[in-house]
């Protein structure tokens, strides 16, 4: 995933303190990665996973991704979401996003700047977020260069494979 990372898509909105149990519930934990996607937000938004379309963008409130270190970021990526823009990210969850190459940014004010269903445009490297319906723009916090490089490489596993430090997965 190298080069300019730009996303444009329909917005879905969730609130504050979204924990990894809501994203990837325990009952889905031992399913295949593809099967897990059907349970994303199942407890608080039943049927939501079936409504999401490839390229949609998730907007969250404060402290998104709190909780365990389970690979919930992978489920959001596998669901087809383009990226996550949130008021603030739990540090462990941010690292899981980076490890699985799921673009995630902190952008103060983003939760109030959108209504669900509007269209967003995100320039990931510069952390610029635009509401296309309203013509407004916000500036988030870009990832540090080392983390950006991991996301652009496709995640930690792809980078380690490319560097010859682990055998390629089949």
Q: Look at 2 and 130; give whichever has higher pLDDT.
A: 130
Query: Is residue 120, in this structure, part of any structural domain at all?
Result: yes
**CATH code of the domain covering residue 156:** 3.20.19.10
Query: Is residue 23, in this structure, part of any structural domain at all?
Result: yes
pLDDT the model gives residue 65:
96
Query: Is residue 54, in this structure, part of any structural domain at all?
Result: yes
pLDDT the model gives residue 159:
84
Evaluate if pTM is beyond 0.85.
yes
Q: For the chain, how many structural domains are there in total? A: 1
Average pLDDT rounded to a whole number, residues 28-52: 94
Query: Is residue 102, in this structure, part of any structural domain at all?
Result: yes
Query: Is residue 1, in this structure, part of any structural domain at all?
Result: no
pLDDT the model gives residue 3:
59
Query: Is residue 169, in this structure, part of any structural domain at all?
Result: no
CA dist., res. 65 & res. 135, Å (int): 29
Show Cβ contacts of residue 112 under 8 Å, excluding neighbours closer than 6 positions: none
Query: Is residue 168, in this structure, part of any structural domain at all?
Result: no
pLDDT the model gives residue 147:
94
Q: Cβ-count burial of 14 within 10 angstroms (0-12 exposed, 13-18 middle, 19+ buried)?
A: buried
Contact yes or no for 88/60 (Cβ under 8 A): no
Average pLDDT rounded to a whole number, residues 25-44: 93
| Tens of pLDDT, residues 67-92 | 888 889 999 999 999 999 999 999 99
Q: Cβ-count burial of 122 within 10 angstroms (0-12 exposed, 13-18 middle, 19+ buried)?
A: buried
Which among 119, 109, 150, 128 is positioned nearest to 53, based on CA atoms?
119
pLDDT band for position 1 (cuts 50, 70, 90)? very low
Query: Is residue 82, in this structure, part of any structural domain at all?
Result: yes
pLDDT band for position 161 (cuts 50, 70, 90)? confident
List the domain range (segments joined by +) for residue 115: 6-162
Q: How remote is the C-alpha of 98 from its chain's centroid?
A: 9
CA dist., res. 135 & res. 64, Å (int): 26
Contact yes or no for 170/20 (Cβ under 8 A): no
Strand, helix or coil at 165?
Answer: coil
């Amino acid at each position: 995933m190298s080069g300019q990372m730009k996303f444009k898509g329909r917005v879905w909105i969730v609130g504050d303190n979204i924990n990894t149990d809501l994203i990837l519930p325990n009952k889905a934990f031992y399913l295949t990665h593809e099967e897990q996607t059907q349970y994303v937000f199942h407890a608080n938004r039943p049927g939501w996973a079936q409504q999401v379309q490839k390229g949609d963008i998730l907007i969250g409130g404060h402290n998104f991704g709190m909780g365990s270190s389970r690979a919930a970021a992978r489920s959001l990526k596998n669901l087809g979401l383009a990226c996550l823009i949130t008021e603030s990210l739990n540090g462990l969850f941010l690292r899981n996003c980076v490890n699985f190459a799921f673009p995630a940014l902190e952008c103060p004010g983003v939760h109030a700047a959108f209504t669900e269903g509007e269209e967003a445009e995100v320039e990931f490297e510069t952390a610029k977020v635009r509401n296309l319906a309203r013509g407004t723009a916000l500036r988030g916090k870009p990832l540090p260069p080392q983390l950006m490089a991991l996301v652009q490489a496709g995640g930690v596993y792809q980078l380690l494979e490319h560097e010859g430090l682990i055998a390629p997965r089949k």
